[in-house]
Structure 1
Amino acid sequence: MLIGLTSDDTISAIATSIGEGGIGIVRVSGSKALVIADKLFVSKAGKKLTDVLSHKVLYGDIIDPDSGEKVDEVLLLIMRAPRSYTCEDIIEVHCHGGPVPLQRVLALTMKAGARLAEPGEFTKRAFLNGRLDLAQAEAVIDIIRAKTDTSLKAAIGNLSGQLSEQVKDLRYTILQMIAQLEAAIDFPEEDIEEAAANDVAKLIQEADLQLSALLATAQTGRILREGLATVIIGKPNVGKSSLLNALLREKRAIVTDIPGTTRDIIEEYVNIRGVPLKIIDTAGIRETADVVEKMGVERARELVGQADLILVLLDSSAPLSSEDKAVLALLSGKKAIVLINKSDLPGQLESEEVEKYTDDRLVLRISVELGQGLAELEQVIVDMVYSGQVCQGEAAFVSNVRQADALEQARGRLTEALATIEAGMPTDCIVVDLRAAWEKLGEITGDTVGEDIIDQIFTQFCIGK
C-alpha cells in the first residue's frame, strides 16, 4: 500500500449536490480541521471542541470571525483520526441546503486555513492512508452512480472487499509459487527444481481457472456499472417509440400514426429486472428527402455500430419490405433480438420468412399495444447479460476496463510461466513471469500501482467525495 503520500494540507469541499435542499454538508479533512472549526463554530451549549469526543454532534452557529455575523445555524459533526473516512480529523458542517449558505461556509473554511479539495481527494486520502484499497475506492463512485438495486448491490459488494479478497488470495497463491521455486534455486544440491516446477504448474492451472471465473464477470460488471447500450431500430411507424414507452412504463416518446415522428435521438435509462439499459429510440430507417429526418436516420445508423444490443422491430401486419431488409442488413456482427410487433393484428409476416435474414438470432413475436411478449423479452435480456456465467446474487464483479485489463495481463503472464515450465527452461525464468503476474494483480488493489494511475482514477470523482 502506498502510505504517506497524502498532503499535510487541510481540505474542504461541499459534499452534497448543489441546489436547494433541506440539508447541505461542508466537509473538512486534515490536521487543522478542528482548529478551523473552532474559529468558525459557536456551540449553543457553550462547549469547546477540544472537550468533545469523536463522533459527537454539536448544535450551534457558524460565525464570520471578521465581522461577527451569523452565517447559518448548523449541526457540527466531529470525527477524530483515525476513526474517519480519510483516517484524518474530519469535521462536517450540516447547514441549510441552499447554495448561498453552503458557499458562505465553504469560503469561511478556506479563509480559516483550508484549501478547496480536488476531485475525489477525500477518497484518495482514504486510499493512501490504508482505509480502502483501490478496488474499494473505485466501488465508491460505482455506488454513487448506481442505476438499479442490482448495480448498487454489486458496488457495495466490491466496497466490502469481495473482489479485493479474491485478488489478494490469488496474489498470495502466486507468492507461494515464487517462494517454492526460489527455495529450489537456493538448494540445488537437493535436486528438487523439477518437482517444484511440476507442483507450480498445477497451481498455475488452478489460478488460471480462478482468473477465468473473475474475467467472466467483467462484461456483466461493466453493464451493471454503465448500463447496456441498447438501440431500437426499424422502419418508420413500426412501434419503436411505443416499445420505449412500454419498457419505461411512462409516455416518454411521442407516438402517432404518422411515419417519421421520431427524428431526433431519445435516450433513457430503463431498469430491466435490475439490469440498467441505456436505451435509445432512433428515427425510422428509410430513404427520405426531409433534411432533418435524414440526419436522424444517419445518426441511427451510427448508433447501431456502437450498441451492445440492438432491438429490431418489424411489423407483423405487413409483408417484409425492402426497408425491413435494409434494417436487418445492419445487424452483421452485432448482438440483436428481432421483435415482430403488432402480433395482435391479422398477420402477414411469418417468423420463418424473417429468420432467413437474421443469421439464427432470436426472433420474438410481441404486441407492444397489449403488452404481450414483453416479459419474455425482459427475461431474454437479463439472461443475455449474465450469460449463464455469473449469477445475479454474486457479490464480486470486475466493474471496469482497468481491472479487466490487469486480470487479462496477469493471466497472460501465468500462461507464459506454464509454457516456460513445459519448455524445460530455467527456474528463474518461471519466477520472472510469476512475479509479473503478481504485480499486475496488485494494480487492481493498488499495492503495485503507479501514482499517475491513482491520479487518473480519482479525477473521475466529484469534488467533495
Structure 2
Amino acid sequence: MQPKLYTEDTIAAIATPPGKGAIGVIKISGEEAFSILKKIFKPFKPREKFESHKLYYGFIVNPRDSKIIDEVLVVYMKKPKTYTREDVVEIYAHSGYYILKKILELVFFAGARPAQPGEFTLRAYLNGRIDLSQAEAIQELIYAKTETALNLALNNLLGKLSEKINILREKLMEILVQVESAIDFPEEDIEILEPENLSIKIKKEILPIIESFIKNYEEGKIYKEGISLVIAGKPNVGKSSLMNALLKEERAIVTPVPGTTRDFLEEEATIEGLPVKLIDTAGLRETEDIVEKIGVERAKKKFKEADLILFLVDVSKPPSEEDFQIYQEVKNFPHLVLLNKIDIIPNYLEIWKEKLLEWKIENFLEISVKEHINLDKLTKNIFEKITSERATEIPEIVPNLRQKLALEKAKEFLLNALKEIEKPNPLPELIAIEIRGALSSLSEIIGEVTTEDLLSQIFSTFCIGK
C-alpha cells in the first residue's frame, strides 16, 4: 500500500539493485535529508557547510558509539534542482547487502522512514517536475529490453507525448469556449456555435491524431512488451536445439532420447530487435507416462497464448500420421513450418515437400539447427510474420495501455459530440458535456485529472528506490 499522496516525511531507500558490486547508493529525500546526513556522516576534512551538488569524502559513523561503518562519498542537493524537487542526499558506499542495510538502518534511526515503491518518482510528479506520462516512461525506461523499447520510453520521458496531448487539449479548450459562449447567449447560439466549423475542426485536427496514437499502441507494443514464440513438434525433432540456437547459449537440455523436455521451458531473447519470450514445449505424442502427458497438455495450452508457433519437423525421417495430427493442432494459430535436419544425407526432404503440398502447406523453410543453415533467414521470417500487419516504420510515440484506454474514451466523447453538432438543431449544453469528457480523458494521460487510487496503482509497480 502506498502512503497518502503527499507527506512532509523524509524518505530513504537503497537505489541500486541487490548483489555484489563496486558501488551501492542510498537515496534520501525530504526536508530532513541534510540534517540526517550530518548525524551519520563524518567528513574527512571537518566542515560546517556543504555546497549543493558537490561530492564530499568521509565516513559513515554510528551516532550512538561513533563507530565507523564505511568509507563513502556523499552529495547534498538542495531543492528545487533535484529529482524530487526536495532536498536530496545520496550516499555512495561500497556495495554489499550488509553494508548498505547497516547504513540504511542508521538513516532511519536519524529520522527518515522507508520509501514505498516508486515514491521518489511519485514526489517528482506531485512536485511538478514531471507529468504522469513522463513518470510512467521512467518505469518503461528501466524495464526496456531492446534499443527500440528504450528509445520509445525516452521519447515519452522527454515529453513528446505530453506535448502532443497538450496541443489537443488547447484545441478542445478553444472549442469548449465557443460552445459555452453559445450557452451564455442562447438567442444567437447557432451563429456563435458555427456547427460546420466545429465539426471540421474535430474531424481534421483532433480525431486523426487521437486515432493515430491508438493505432501506434497496437503497432508499437510488441517493441515494448515483446512476443511469445512457441516451438512445437514431435519429440526429438530438434526443438531444444533450436531454442538454444535462438538464445545463443546452451539453456535447454539436448539428448538423442525422445521426450527429454517433459514440460515447457521459457527464456527471454531478442530476435531482429524484438523482445521475445521463447517457449520450448514437450514433444507432442501419445504417451502413457503421466508426467510427459501433463507436459503435452500444457504445450497445447501454450499454442493459444503464442503470438507465433514454430512447427518443427525432422526430414531425416519420413512424414507420419503423427506429424499430420500435430499440424492439425497448430494450423489454426499463426505459425511457421520448419523442415529441420536437412544436413543429414540421405534424407526425405523431397517426400516431405510433396506431403506438405498434400496438407496444403505452401510456405515453409528448410533449416539445419545443428549446422546453423538458414537460421538467419528464420529470424527474418519471424520478424516479418510478426510485423507484416503493422506499419513499416516504428512509431515515435507509443502510449501504454492506460494511456491508450484514456485516448479511446476521449475518442468516444468526441464522436458523441459530433453526433450532436451535426443535428439540425444542436444543443450546446450537450456538446459541452462531451467536450469536457474528452478534455478530462486527455488530462488523465498527463495527470492533470487523476485519483489517489490511480496514482497508488501506477507507482506501486515501481521498484523501491525509484
Number of the residue aligned with 1:288: 287
The structure-2 alpha-carbon separation of the partners of 1:324 and 1:74, relative to structure 1 and needing over 3 Å to count, comes to same
Contact 1:44–1:60 at 8 Å: present in 2 too? yes
The structure-2 alpha-carbon separation of the partners of 1:370 and 1:227, relative to structure 1 and needing over 3 Å to count, comes to same
Between the aligned partners of 2:7 and 2:388, the Cα distance in structure 1 is: 45
How far has the Cα of 1:352 moved from its partner? 6.8
Between the aligned partners of 2:431 and 2:336, the Cα distance in structure 1 is: 47
Between the aligned partners of 1:314 and 1:173, the Cα distance in structure 2 is: 58
Contact 1:317–1:348 at 8 Å: present in 2 too? no
Q: Which amino acid aligns with 2:281?
A: T
Once structures 1 and 2 are overlaid, which stretch shifts more, 190-199 or 264-273? 190-199
The structure-2 alpha-carbon separation of the partners of 1:13 and 1:163, relative to structure 1 and needing over 3 Å to count, comes to same
Q: Which amino acid aligns with 1:27?
A: K
Number of the residue aligned with 1:366: 367
Contact 2:315–2:339 at 8 Å: present in 1 too? yes
Aligned residues: 458
Question: Equivalent residue of 2:194, what SS?
Answer: helix
Number of the residue aligned with 1:171: 169
Q: Which amino acid aligns with 2:419?
A: A
Question: Equivalent residue of 1:217, what SS?
Answer: helix
Once structures 1 and 2 are overlaid, which stretch shifts more, 279-288 or 421-430? 421-430
Once structures 1 and 2 are overlaid, which stretch shifts more, 182-191 or 371-380? 182-191
How far has the Cα of 1:104 moved from its partner? 0.9
Contact 2:319–2:352 at 8 Å: present in 1 too? no
Matched ranges for 1:215-254 at <5 A:
215-254=214-253
Between the aligned partners of 1:449 and 1:221, the Cα distance in structure 2 is: 26
Between the aligned partners of 1:307 and 1:388, the Cα distance in structure 2 is: 16
How far has the Cα of 1:60 moved from its partner? 0.6
Number of the residue aligned with 2:58: 60
Between the aligned partners of 2:207 and 2:441, the Cα distance in structure 1 is: 14
Contact 1:158–1:395 at 8 Å: present in 2 too? no
How far has the Cα of 1:406 moved from its partner? 1.5
Number of the residue aligned with 1:416: 416
Number of the residue aligned with 1:376: 377
Contact 1:216–1:390 at 8 Å: present in 2 too? no
TM-score, normalised by the number of residues in structure 2: 0.91
Number of the residue aligned with 1:279: 278
Between the aligned partners of 1:155 and 1:22, the Cα distance in structure 2 is: 28
TM-score, normalised by the number of residues in structure 1: 0.91
Matched ranges for 1:199-210 at <5 A:
199-206=197-204, 207-210=206-209
The structure-2 alpha-carbon separation of the partners of 1:288 and 1:334, relative to structure 1 and needing over 3 Å to count, comes to same
How far has the Cα of 1:33 moved from its partner? 0.2
Question: Equivalent residue of 2:71, what SS?
Answer: strand
Q: Which amino acid aligns with 2:320?
A: S
Question: Equivalent residue of 1:76, what SS?
Answer: strand
Number of the residue aligned with 1:457: 458
After superposition, the C-alpha distances for 1:202-251 in whole angstroms (9 at most, x for unaligned) are 22223222122212221344333332121111111222112111111122
Contact 1:216–1:389 at 8 Å: present in 2 too? no
How far has the Cα of 1:355 moved from its partner? 6.2
Matched, 1:397 2:398: yes
| Structure 2 segments unaligned to the other structure (5+ residues) | none
Once structures 1 and 2 are overlaid, which stretch shifts more, 251-260 or 100-109? 251-260
Between the aligned partners of 2:154 and 2:357, the Cα distance in structure 1 is: 42
2:356 aligned to which of 340, 349, 354 = 354
Identity of aligned residues (%): 44
Number of the residue aligned with 2:94: 96
Question: Equivalent residue of 1:326, what SS?
Answer: helix
How far has the Cα of 1:282 moved from its partner? 0.7
Between the aligned partners of 2:185 and 2:352, the Cα distance in structure 1 is: 75
Between the aligned partners of 1:366 and 1:85, the Cα distance in structure 2 is: 52
Number of the residue aligned with 2:118: 120
Between the aligned partners of 1:427 and 1:321, the Cα distance in structure 2 is: 71
After superposition, the C-alpha distances for 1:382-427 in whole angstroms (9 at most, x for unaligned) are 34444564455543112x3212221222222222222233344412
Matched, 1:341 2:340: yes
The structure-2 alpha-carbon separation of the partners of 1:135 and 1:358, relative to structure 1 and needing over 3 Å to count, comes to farther
> For the aligned residues, what is the CA RMSD?
2.3
